[in-house]
Amino acid sequence: MRSKHALLIAALAAISTACRQDMHDQPKFKGLQESALWPDGKAARPLVDGTIARGRLRQDPHKFQGKAADGFAPGLPASYKVDQSFLTRGQQRFNIYCSPCHGKTGYGDGMVVQRGFKAPPSYHVDRLRNQPSGYFYDVITNGYGTMVSYASRIPVDDRWAIVAYVRALQLSQNATIDDVPESDRAKLSAAAHAAGQPAAPPAAAPKPEAKGGNH
């Protein structure tokens, strides 16, 4: 009886091993291998029209295109929390990719402009301060005028971080006392008084726009 059991176990083991080896040796084409199956001799076949890679469906037009139903989206997608870390990331990416032309404060006076490259417009002119946030995302993504697309260099999340930072730059150069929360105005007044300045100084006159215009 024991010999029958041993024989059965041995047979099952042989069958299992053979099945496993068949899976290892199954017919398949390796990358860039030739094939006589197709007229062009290539084993790799072109993608079917409309094929989208996993995770690349991008169904949210606001996040991936900067668009709303009636044009450019006015603000950032709700999935982003605009906090200090997000703005810091935007500042880092802006200084790397944008400041060479736009300057670190957004006046269009970056280093390459100082060396003769055509100047972009200042972010602080009314035309650009009044543009919706989706407009800036679209320009980063698709380019505009002499500015090329940065879609291949700046990921989507970083594009929105840059947009948030551009908005912070615009506010920093055009804010008035009315933009300060009422609960914080007393602190400003106290600081101004300690420095011997007027409690509520008028908004500074905007810096003249750099000549040129790419956006």
List, for residues 25-59, the tens digit of each pLDDT value: 788 888 888 988 889 999 888 888 888 888 778 88
Partners of 72 in beta bridges: 67
Q: What is the DSSP letter of 42?
A: B
pLDDT in tens, 120-159: 999 999 999 999 999 999 999 999 999 999 999 999 999 9
| Spatial separation of the C-alpha atoms in residues 3 and 133, rounded to whole Å | 80
The mean pLDDT value of the chain amounts to 85
| Spatial separation of the C-alpha atoms in residues 80 and 161, rounded to whole Å | 9
| Spatial separation of the C-alpha atoms in residues 196 and 170, rounded to whole Å | 27
Q: Which two tokens stand for residue 85?
A: 């870390």
Dihedral of alpha carbons 144, 145, 147, 148, sign: positive
Query: What CATH number does the domain located at 81-175+204-215 have?
Result: 1.10.760.10
pLDDT band at 212 (very low <50, low <70, confident <90, very high): very low
